Structure 1
Amino acid sequence: MTSPAAVPRGGGREAITRAARESFAERGYHGTSIRDIAARAGLSLSALYHWHAGKQELLTALVEESTEEYFRRCDEALRDAGDDPAARLGALVRATIEYRVSRQVESTIAASEWRNLDPANRERLDALRAAASKLWADLVDEGVARGVFHCEHPDDARRAVVAACNAIAQWYEPDGGLGVPELVERYTAIAQRIVDCR
């Protein structure tokens, strides 16, 4: 095992984060021990505890970072999209797909391990999740109000679009012959059909 002194300066936290991400992805939260994470990071337990209080704190940090980054990408995409609801829908679809493809492991962990967050952590992070959901809800509601979207059930339409885009993290294969631009084009068209964009 690598001694803590051998870890590059600033590399301890990164090594732990990477090890936790890989371990949670392979074994799940309950199948991973704090010793597994330390060993995978090449650190002693005491070095790991210097950075994180335990496995719950590691999971919370991973989910929080993932959720914050997703929200930032969506927010930036909407700022650049102008005020046309159809263009804004396409921007959110693109931001979501690009994030789910580039951060597949983190997306999967955030989705599958959310239930394993302690109640206090889950409650705190629910606000981030709610903010991201509100971006979608406001967009669909605005499109309906402006007569661009004609879906009868905006909440259901929003949930269907978000679920379809989020699910890409589970099945997408980078070497599968389908590039991200084509994926974005397909899913933008699907989203437009779901919200009945005219």
Structure 2
Amino acid sequence: MLTTPSGTEPDVPPGPVTDAAVLRESLRRPERFAEIFDRHGDEIHRYVARRLGPAMAEDVVAETFLAAFRKRGRYDPGRPDARPWLYGIATHALREHRRAEARRNRALARAVPARPEENFDDRSTARVAAGRLRPELAAALTRLSAADRDLLLLIAWADLSYDEAAQAIGVPVGTIKSRLHRIRKKLHRAFGGAHPLQENAT
């Protein structure tokens, strides 16, 4: 065991504070909830912006974190990472904007794909989102049910695991796997066997 020159044990820096601990502490000190937004706000915003466009993303993200603040007392302390919980709340908030998402996907489905030589790093957020959701994929997404679209994009764009997606949506993991299998078969047929959500296909 390491000791200091005085013979005492050295101070051990504390480990990272989990989201669950911050949420629990925020029940006593509400200002601590701002840490949850600082940790995950940008990620949730990127996801919502890809689905609705940046113009509407701010409102949906605000709705998401306001709802999370109000529900924080019911958060499961056994889950250290709040991302799946936040994505579930964001998914619920997105349901209020189904028509806007459908209009966006229909518009992108009619769009001309971006030229390969364009520099994506120099584009605005709106153009990056539009460029990645190419017309063929936008058209395919409009043909999925709202629930299937939510699940697919939580896996493909939010990068949630099956367990995390199950937590976000509130269904068993087995249901997630069977639904994804069915969704992917539909998309594979629509894209001639290619995987439309891989980076090299978007």
TM-score normalised by length of structure 1: 0.33
Higher helix share: 1
> Which has the higher Rg, Structure 1 or Structure 2?
2
